[in-house]
Amino acid sequence: MEEAQFIHLINEHQGIIYKICRLYRDSREDREDLFQEIVFQLWKSLPGFRGEAIFSTWLYRIALSTAISAFRKKRPDIRYTAALPDEQEEPGEEHGQREQLFDALRQLNDADKALITLYLENLSYQEIAEISGISENNVGVRLSRIRQKIQQLLKN
């Protein structure tokens, strides 16, 4: 895959990456760093992409793995030039509810965050199972428990 094609795919899927960054990092600076790290890991892993899965499934796997793991060692300064969307304050009740939800999601453990992120992206249980490496049945059970945790966190 050529660099231009890769950049096109990243631009096309940057919303997914941004949501993962927002869920796993609190500050804007940390989210930007994570975004860059995810793009770097995607580029580095690109030779291993065989097209057996759709690009977004492969992207989720790499992005979630990168978000969950700590930044390991110093990497070369390769910067993806598109900026993250501005986080402008949105007035109204909807903004407050969205922020409450993100606060609750950030309190989940990393594995639960990964599963609920995929669920919130409207992926099927089969797709979530493929990305996470667990059975479809286990996806359903774990998502049910995660939803209960989130409801409890939102009540508090």
Mean pLDDT for each 10-residue chunk of the chain (156 residues)?
86 91 88 93 89 86 85 43 50 69 86 88 88 91 94 88
Structural domains of the chain ordered from first start: 1-87 (1.10.1740.10), 91-156 (1.10.10.10)
> What integer pLDDT is reported at residue 142 of this predicted model?
95
* C-alpha gyration radius of the chain: 16
Distances (CA, A) of 109 to 1, 98, 104, 105, 146: 35, 19, 11, 9, 10
Q: How many CB atoms lie within 10 A of CB 120?
A: 12
- What integer pLDDT is reported at residue 75 of this predicted model? 44
Determine the Cα–Cα distance for residues 139 and 115; give it in Å rounded to an integer.
Answer: 8
Per-residue pLDDT, 141: 95
First vs last Cα of the chain: how many Å apart? Answer: 48
Q: Is 131 helix (H, G, I), strand (E, B) or coil?
A: helix
Q: DSSP code of 48?
A: G
pLDDT score recorded for residue 26 = 82
Distances (CA, A) of 56 to 49, 118, 149: 11, 11, 27
* Residue 34 pLDDT: 93
Q: Is the dihedral of CA 32, 8, 43, 76 positive or negative?
A: negative
Q: How many CA atoms lie within 13 A of 121 on its CB side?
A: 22
Let me know if 53 is exposed, middle or buried by CB neighbors in 10 A (0-12, 13-18, 19+): middle
Compute how many other C-beta atoms are within 10 angstroms of the C-beta atom of residue 152: 10
